Amino acid sequence: DKKIIIAIDGYSSTGKSTVAKQLAKALGYIYVDTGAMYRAITLYAMRKGYIDESQFEQEKLEKALPEIQIKFEINPKSGLAEVLLDGENVEREIRTLAVSNQVSKIAAVSAVRKKLVEQQNQMGKDKGIVMDGRDIGTVVFPNAELKLFMTATAKDRAERRFLELKERGEDVTYEDVLKNVVDRDHIDSTRKDSPLRQASDAVKIDNSNLTLEDQFKQILGLAKATI
């Protein structure tokens, strides 16, 4: 079997990571969550006081960038990769709504994208990888053998994210989550550098009316046909 690169892009909370994890497991591939990398940089900037609701000291972040280390480590219990910020496991902290509310501003900075895209290219150099994000099929791996573009209605996506956050014990309202999903999609698709777009050769998957199982069957079929 030849090893391929599978690029999964799409709007926020469309279930990209769920599918990506299932696929990686079924194929014995590595899964890389690039959103976690942007979230970890965002957490760094928030802790330093470089960004909040009312201000963003972009130059300070840019100056610090070369020193910021983003890595992944496998959690032996789950077998899944978790993100490390300067050696500290921040997998839980990066999933809060507070981080979600700032991340798209950080992800619009070209210097941040350049650093992370370089690292993502390295991770894919041996192929056998499933990577999800916003610019994987368009910028990170324009030659990926299989590209998927996931969509669902904003309402379906916000409901999914709301339940996830509630389960983790976060005190959030559905309205706050819906606003975050809509705002992020807007910033992500209108930014200058690497805006969220469906690659011309990507397969569109609208999962508003698909069960997880049906969706996975369909996508695994596509992957097997490509390999």
Residues that bind ligand C5P in the complex, under the rule CB under 6 A: 12, 34-35, 38-39, 103-104, 107, 133-136, 184, 188
Smallest distance from ligand C5P to CB 224, Å: 25
Whole-number Å distance between alpha carbons of 207 and 35: 20
Q: Which is nearer to ligand C5P, 9 or 27 (CB)?
A: 9
Q: Which is nearer to ligand C5P, 112 or 223 (CB)?
A: 112
- What is residue 56's DSSP assignment? B
Smallest distance from ligand C5P to CB 173, Å: 19
Torsion of Cα atoms, 46 then 83 then 130 then 196, to 10°: 0
Q: Which is nearer to ligand C5P, 27 or 33 (CB)?
A: 33
- Residue bearing tokens 């899964």: 31
Q: Which is nearer to ligand C5P, 187 or 227 (CB)?
A: 187
Q: Which is nearer to ligand C5P, 1 or 142 (CB)?
A: 142
Smallest distance from ligand C5P to CB 225, Å: 25
Q: Which helix (H) or strand (E) holds 149?
A: strand 146-151
Vertex 189: Cα angle to 102 and 70 (nearest 5): 45
Q: How many CB atoms are located within 10 Å of the residue 172 CB?
A: 17
Smallest distance from ligand C5P to CB 50, Å: 16
Q: Is 13 labeled as ligand-binding?
A: yes
Strand, helix or coil at 12? coil
Smallest distance from ligand C5P to CB 196, Å: 7
150 CA to centre of own chain:
12
Q: Is 12 labeled as ligand-binding?
A: yes
**Helix axis angle, 16-27 to 212-226, nearest 10°:** 50
72 and 32 Cβ atoms separated by less than 8 Å = yes
1 and 7 Cβ atoms separated by less than 8 Å = no
Smallest distance from ligand C5P to CB 137, Å: 10
Q: Which is nearer to ligand C5P, 27 or 181 (CB)?
A: 181
Q: What is the CA radius of gyration of the chain?
A: 17
Q: Is 11 labeled as ligand-binding?
A: yes
The annotated binding site is made up of 10-18
Annotated binding site for ATP: 10-18
